[in-house]
Structure 1
């Protein structure tokens, strides 16, 4: 389908609105045909630059003059009421919004508590949670799979990992979703999360437990170069939002992709050993983190043949870059192939901000898809794919609801 007239040329402005996001894979493919970088009106209302090419994305994410420090764009950010990334404010005070040595310090401190071993130890518990959710699927053989499976599984996992009490989980799911919806007034959601986390941190300091927030409190109180109170809250906020919102939507995207390609689902059911590689292919095909967080030009610079003045806002479309990743000769990036060897993608970013939680995300996705495919063999969409509603704004991509129907549910092992 040809590009719509308002976005038909290299110099035109791409509007990242609900219609664009609903058709994102097609729209990004059209943009890549035109050029690697485009002027854009972002969901936040900011004017910026959108990088859609794989190689340019890798360059942008490691460019020494494209920083997380928003100071050069302060006036533009203030004009749209954007919450600046400062310690104790918005999504600030954590490693995703830090540069250089500050990022290294924060990441090292967080890594001391959020280790790959801690994530791997969750494997049996993740399987139990997935099995419990399948056990409770509606008896009338129809459900919204987002509400009944793809959302509650990561919420439960991250809540248990962090030590969030069950009575607070509904609120932090709602607040974390709203916090990433950059077109809305997300201040109340961010304030709610900050308040919840401040209360939890105070409780863990008095009554420490074997959970991640208690571990981070120990880092705050004891470690050399420790986390400040604002950094502690900001880090917990990052782990809540990035630790489950990304997986909620990736699971939704993955299940939808398999339902739209039933031959691929059958292949996975028959050959479950393909699942780890299939998760990489699904990350390449339709990742949940559609765009990386903003970068700001600290000086005038050239990127992809375009001159970007100091203060420019740059957004890397990770989903587009993943579809544009190098492939074998004759392979089609628009085709879902769960048997594809060594699928390359940028779903977890690139450079110093490569996702710390990638091992946990992979484990959750592999386990959840294994349980769902094995125990619900007759799963199918209850609506046409064109009727699926997508998240309309912000950096996430995922279905808002996933109506399905199914036959008999197999017993757990």
Structure 2
């Protein structure tokens, strides 16, 4: 079977695509299950736009993540052994590590960490309040950016004296590739090695202790090198809540009815965070997978070696799956299909449960501490958006604390 004669094309140099990806990808989704993604200097990718086809592809072993899926920074030779994370592994290699580490990241463990995350959120909100001028603050640098790294530091036992430097590492890594990114890596690796050594000598109730204790039925355990790599993985992937939290806050402050519903019923928080992740999550496109062999997706032929990504922006608003998908509804039933904001299949986000708890705690803390929280005077949500074709994020989040 051959693919569509004229698949829609989505040009990432088109300002309208970047400004409103939900509309651009949504139009493509309604024309055909797959579209072609055009980028300067890159062979076009296939982009899957419909929910069921996206789930099928993300769970299909014929499409794999490999080294071509990521940009690899230049790093010193002694850091190279730790750079290949579980995200780049497939098959039995990936399954082995996933089985060993998953208990440390499951929903129950994330809930056990909630009180410690609440303390971190409270401390950051103190800093926000102290640093505000005339009760106006930018929540992006003051709250959303430092929170994920502060949580990582808590969970892997980074000493308090080193946490300011680790915040800087987090900000550098979140900013993406560049000389500063590469320069931060040796410090992260050295800190991870020191933390692992310290935890072996001083047991505690944290993520590193879980990983040190992890053992499979056949006696298999994580090596120290694998644990260093996992800490690096956490630093890389653990920045996700930054953009999610900022998006969630901006969305709610722009929709008073939804904000009022959430304030009126704190019990809505878990399902509200799921709905907000579906509707305004930070991931627009998944990391590309590469076809290991000729295959088909929704009747479209994908040749061996071709890149395929998922438009999360389109799949999470697919009317074939979600009722009235363009409507944000923080009371939406938790029985609705799972969104793809954290992916699907073997590479489903390892830290999804932690990200959910962080977002819930962050939002609850903000709403409780600042009942009059609102966008700062003159702040235009449209103008706060970063021109980033892969990530839905803001460049600032100016608010008045009320």
Normalised by the length of structure 2, the TM-score is 0.83
For 2:154, which of 133, 149, 160 is the aligned residue?
160
Shift of 1:115: 4.5
For 2:123, which of 110, 121, 132 is the aligned residue?
132
Q: Tell me, what secondary structure is at the counterpart of 2:196?
A: helix
Out of 137-146 and 185-194, give the one that drifted further.
Answer: 185-194
Distance change in 2, residues 1:397/1:162 (3 Å) = farther
Distance change in 2, residues 1:326/1:377 (3 Å) = farther
Tell me how far apart the structure 1 counterparts of residues 365 and 211 of structure 2 sit (CA, whole Å).
32
Is 1:313 the counterpart of 2:307 in the alignment?
yes
Out of 142-151 and 115-124, give the one that drifted further.
Answer: 115-124
Shift of 1:46: 6.0
CA contact (8 A) 2:16 2:24 kept: no
Q: Which runs of 5+ in 2 are unaligned?
A: 1-5
- 1:359-393 deviation per Cα after TM superposition (whole angstroms, max 9, x unaligned): 22222222221221233122222211121032636
- 1:152-182 deviation per Cα after TM superposition (whole angstroms, max 9, x unaligned): 3332222101212344444444544554666
- 1:57-114 deviation per Cα after TM superposition (whole angstroms, max 9, x unaligned): 11110112101244xx69xx8xx87889xx9649854332221221221011112444
Out of 295-304 and 27-36, give the one that drifted further.
Answer: 27-36
Q: Which residue of 1 aligns with 2:102?
A: 111
Q: Tell me, what secondary structure is at the counterpart of 2:316?
A: helix
For 1:240, which of 229, 235, 241 is the aligned residue?
235
Is 1:341 the counterpart of 2:341 in the alignment?
no
CA contact (8 A) 1:13 1:40 kept: yes
Q: Tell me, what secondary structure is at the counterpart of 1:315?
A: strand
Shift of 1:325: 6.3
Q: Which residue of 2 aligns with 1:263?
A: 257
Q: Which residue of 2 aligns with 1:99?
A: 90
Shift of 1:266: 1.0
CA contact (8 A) 1:259 1:265 kept: yes
Tell me how far apart the structure 1 counterparts of residues 289 and 328 of structure 2 sit (CA, whole Å).
31
Q: Which runs of 5+ in 1 are unaligned?
A: 1-8, 408-413
Q: Tell me, what secondary structure is at the counterpart of 1:346?
A: coil
Tell me how far apart the structure 1 counterparts of residues 102 and 370 of structure 2 sit (CA, whole Å).
37
Q: Which residue of 2 aligns with 1:213?
A: 208
- 1:282-312 deviation per Cα after TM superposition (whole angstroms, max 9, x unaligned): 0110112333222111112222333222111
Q: Tell me, what secondary structure is at the counterpart of 1:352?
A: helix
Out of 364-373 and 20-29, give the one that drifted further.
Answer: 20-29
Aligned length: 387
Is 1:15 the counterpart of 2:12 in the alignment?
yes
Q: Which residue of 2 aligns with 1:387?
A: 383
Q: Which residue of 2 aligns with 1:410?
A: none
Q: Tell me, what secondary structure is at the counterpart of 1:367?
A: helix
Tell me how far apart the structure 1 counterparts of residues 23 and 72 of structure 2 sit (CA, whole Å).
31
Q: Which residue of 1 aligns with 2:3?
A: none
- 1:24-71 deviation per Cα after TM superposition (whole angstroms, max 9, x unaligned): 22222232233222222459956422222211111110112101244x
Distance change in 2, residues 1:373/1:259 (3 Å) = same
Distance change in 2, residues 1:147/1:341 (3 Å) = same
Q: Tell me, what secondary structure is at the counterpart of 1:323?
A: coil
Q: Which residue of 1 aligns with 2:136?
A: 142
CA contact (8 A) 2:8 2:31 kept: no
Q: Tell me, what secondary structure is at the counterpart of 1:283?
A: helix
Distance change in 2, residues 1:64/1:217 (3 Å) = same
Tell me how far apart the structure 2 counterparts of residues 24 and 10 of structure 1 sit (CA, whole Å).
18
Distance change in 2, residues 1:336/1:29 (3 Å) = same
Q: Tell me, what secondary structure is at the counterpart of 2:137?
A: strand
Cα root mean square deviation, aligned = 3.4
Shift of 1:199: 4.1
Is 1:193 the counterpart of 2:193 in the alignment?
no
Q: Tell me, what secondary structure is at the counterpart of 1:227?
A: coil
CA contact (8 A) 1:44 1:182 kept: no
Distance change in 2, residues 1:61/1:49 (3 Å) = same
Q: Which residue of 2 aligns with 1:370?
A: 364
Tell me how far apart the structure 2 counterparts of residues 230 and 398 of structure 1 sit (CA, whole Å).
33
Is 1:68 the counterpart of 2:60 in the alignment?
no
Distance change in 2, residues 1:263/1:392 (3 Å) = same
